[in-house]
Structure 1
Amino acid sequence: MDARHQIALDMAEAATAWLGSLTDDQRAVAHGSGPAYDEGAYAERRRWFYTPTDHGGLTVHEQRPAQQRAAMRLVATGLSMAGYVTIATTMGLENVLDRVEGFVTRFDRERGRDPGMYYLRVFGEPGGEAPWGWRFGGHHVSLNNLVVGGELVSTTPCFMGADPASSPLLGGALNRPLARVEDLARELVRSLPPELAARAVLLDKAPSDFVTANRSSVSEGDQVIPLAGIWRDERFPDDTEQAKLQKLSDDIDAAAAYTPEDHRTVEYTHAPKGVAGHLLDRSQRELLHALLGTYFDRVPEGVSPLPSYDAAALDDVHFAWAGPTEPGEPHYYRLQGPRLLVEWDNTQRGANHAHSVWRDPEADFGLDVLARHRAQHH
């Protein structure tokens, strides 16, 4: 049995155990009705967020400890050990962020920075040949997995963030969950000779967030969505909290100081921007390969696409950067190639608030496989 089938089996076992541990009321929230491909589930499954909004599903808070353990067991089936540690650390950072902000942030809920507000939902019936999937998300986490025909066919979009991106530990050490995701890219851009750097660095200032945001699909001309637009509901019921969010969003955009022309320069296009891998020297290609690994190796080894990125595949990966290249300055980068889109930004909170996402522009949420399944079976 290959890895994708074995992991799908592990996921089905863990999902079944978790759902079986829930009460009827809990299951009504945790289990999406109907097959993973029907109209309602299809639309909801493609809604994803990385802000502290309602991600859809049963929260950690709404579960007993044994149920929480079963939930995290399911989450772990879709991650490598390093990926799982990063997610667990990100969840714990909510307590750190709450202190950084003075324990006052609310948004539209009782506690705005809350390690218990991470949501898990299963779509369809785990196991068997029919499509099914699961989604786990909360502030700075979004995992999306689809199984079709007993095989794990999609793990994107896969989002991981960190806020603070860097925070102190005892003895002068630093907690930087996404350190290599940032540092390898900076090392790569700073290694480029002037003629390649001129091609790779799109602008000397970074956008306020990554460009494709939480769109269900990416399209030609996509530009940054302001923070206030990346929430499940259009506005909060509490006008005061809505005003606070809007001001925060406006301040973030003002700090980026992007003009319409700047947005056009960094907008998403089907034709990749930046410098192509085939123009890099050996050491730079090694950096590019290692950087890809910080995204692909979030998932279990057997499904990571990293081994397929041989010399020919690296040739077609483009690397683009925006912002200063000095450490500690707001910056953004993008990796783009066939069926590949990676975006990173660390711009907010004085460049101490990081976002990173791995996407497949042609097949996020397994849409290519679902289309074939529908054609064959429906």
Structure 2
Amino acid sequence: MANEGTSTGESSVRREAATRMAEAAAAWLDSLDEVQRRTARGAVPADDASDTERRRWFYTPTDHGGLTVHQQRPAQQQAAMRLVSTGLSRPAYVTAATIMGLENVLDQLEGFVTRFDRERGRDPGQYYLRVFGEPGGTRPWGWRFGGHHVSLNNLVADGELVATTPCFLGADPATSPLLGGATSRPLGRVEDLARDLVRSLGTDLMARALLLPRAPSDFVTANRTVLAEGDQVIPLSGVWRDERFADPVEQAKLQALSDRIDEAAGLTEHDHRTVAYSLAPKGVPAAHLDAEQRGLLQALLGTYLDRAPAGLSPLATYADDAVLDTVHFAWAGSTEPGLPHYYRLQAPRLLLEWDNTQRDANHAHSVWRDPTTDFGLDALAHHRAAHHSA
């Protein structure tokens, strides 16, 4: 979501989005007391080491950094969720709110015993919000919201919303029963459209798209701040803010869970190298897909890109056939519903990853990244050059 080379109309929409964010962020901060505010605020965004904390992100139930829902009164919680809503489209906000509520479902599924070195491990109140810098004006500022299976990262520079990635949404359980025989699947279309696409491929294209007959235990790039050639899956125990829990019993439980997940995936070193992230996209390019398959791909892209606030989804970019042609689609694992699987969509300035492998393929992760401009680093560099050069 770089702010260079955008049209006047798009710039106006970005400014309107930034204004809504600034108003909501200021209202939330104003509602806090001094002690709360010290936790809720972070350093001004920059393209140097002072910005390290803002660029840390997680999707596990660990400390994401900021003020939790638990640490706020109801009116403050409402103000916090108002800010969260400004960073998402309406469907994405509904999905994120549903995912947060799944913590109660997961707690029941696990017998209400999971702790993860705190009083309650599966906790809909353990979501963190932090504002970096001063909302409004032309100086860079941003905000981050996250907890188990939600991570939102937004940056405003020169009065415009310039970055909304990384953007992570997950679901555990991915599928749950509802009354009357209905089913809850918050990310159902994110999974089903990709499966429809891979199953539509002929023998030759399938051979190119299928990286492995087995799926990795998690999405490959994990919560890295910067992506690099050859990045491989990080074990679950490595995707936490603190290296170890203070409680050795809880640490042993986490490590055992992490080991079981990796063992169930059964990937060899060769397998890890095969599915590793690479700067050159893997899989089948959209240029080789027929019209119906390209339609499926467009719809699949929308389940990620339409998470952006209304009017700011980059999906329309891919209506250009030449741009869509650059998108590569790769798959690993089974194509049968209910079995572990993984997929990746990659193009210039685009990386989308999905996995549904853990908990007998009922635990889904999805992430939208722009490897070159995540966290708005390009916009920050541009701002510094424009305003602080000698």
Letter in 2 for 1:332: Y
Q: Secondary structure of 1:303's partner? A: coil
Deviation at 1:372, TM superposition (A): 1.3
Q: How far apart are the structure 1 equivalents of 2:311 and 2:377?
A: 21
Partner residue, 1:6: 16
Say whether residues 1:279 and 2:276 are aligned partners: no
Q: How far apart are the structure 1 equivalents of 2:17 and 2:243?
A: 37
Partner residue, 1:18: 28
Partner residue, 2:329: 319
Partner residue, 1:223: 232
**Following superposition of structure 1 onto structure 2, how do residues 48-127 of structure 1 map, counting pairs within 5 Å?**
48-127=57-136
Q: How far apart are the structure 2 equivalents of 1:178 and 1:311?
A: 27
Partner residue, 1:366: 376
Q: How far apart are the structure 2 equivalents of 1:169 and 1:135?
A: 32
Partner residue, 1:190: 199
Letter in 1 for 2:118: R
CA deviation string 1:122-161 (max 9, x = no partner): 0000000000000000000000000000000000000000
Say whether residues 1:152 and 2:161 are aligned partners: yes
Deviation at 1:311, TM superposition (A): 1.1
Q: Secondary structure of 1:136's partner? A: strand
Q: How far apart are the structure 2 equivalents of 1:210 and 1:104?
A: 27
Q: How far apart are the structure 2 equivalents of 1:255 and 1:302?
A: 42
**Following superposition of structure 1 onto structure 2, how do residues 164-183 of structure 1 map, counting pairs within 5 Å?**
164-183=173-192
Give the alignment partner of residue 200 of structure 1, picking from 196, 203, 209: 209
Q: Secondary structure of 2:311's partner? A: helix
Q: Secondary structure of 1:212's partner? A: coil
Q: How far apart are the structure 1 equivalents of 2:47 and 2:88?
A: 27
Q: Secondary structure of 2:144's partner? A: strand
Say whether residues 1:257 and 2:266 are aligned partners: yes
Deviation at 1:215, TM superposition (A): 0.1
Letter in 1 for 2:36: Q
Q: How far apart are the structure 2 equivalents of 1:374 and 1:245?
A: 42
Q: Secondary structure of 1:91's partner? A: helix
Partner residue, 2:3: none
Say whether residues 1:349 and 2:359 are aligned partners: yes
Q: Secondary structure of 2:336's partner? A: coil
Partner residue, 2:4: none
Partner residue, 1:142: 151
Letter in 2 for 1:362: T
Structure 1 moving runs of 4+ over 2 Å: 38-41
Say whether residues 1:46 and 2:55 are aligned partners: yes
| Contact 1:191-1:284 at 8 Å conserved across structures | yes
| Contact 1:108-1:237 at 8 Å conserved across structures | yes
Q: How far apart are the structure 1 equivalents of 2:364 and 2:38?
A: 34
Q: How far apart are the structure 2 equivalents of 1:214 and 1:241?
A: 22
Q: How far apart are the structure 1 equivalents of 2:306 and 2:19?
A: 20
Letter in 1 for 2:90: M
Count of residues in correspondence between the two structures = 377
Q: How far apart are the structure 1 equivalents of 2:127 and 2:218?
A: 22
Give the alignment partner of residue 376 of structure 1, picking from 363, 366, 386: 386
Structure 1, unmatched stretches of 5+, are none
Q: How far apart are the structure 2 equivalents of 1:280 and 1:236?
A: 48
> Taking structure 1 as reference, are residues 101 and 186 closer, same or farther at Cα in structure 2, changes over 3 Å only?
same
Q: How far apart are the structure 1 equivalents of 2:350 and 2:295?
A: 18
Q: Secondary structure of 1:61's partner? A: helix
Q: How far apart are the structure 1 equivalents of 2:328 and 2:34?
A: 49
| Contact 1:32-1:41 at 8 Å conserved across structures | no
Give the alignment partner of residue 141 of structure 2, picking from 125, 132, 140: 132
Deviation at 1:301, TM superposition (A): 2.4
CA deviation string 1:62-116 (max 9, x = no partner): 0000000000000000101100000000000000000000000000211000000
Letter in 2 for 1:110: E
Letter in 2 for 1:314: L
Q: How far apart are the structure 2 equivalents of 1:22 and 1:38?
A: 28
Using the size of structure 2 for normalisation, the TM-score is 0.96
Using the size of structure 1 for normalisation, the TM-score is 0.99
Letter in 2 for 1:7: A
Partner residue, 1:330: 340
Q: Secondary structure of 2:237's partner? A: helix
Q: Percent of pairs identical after alignment?
A: 73
Q: Secondary structure of 1:159's partner? A: strand
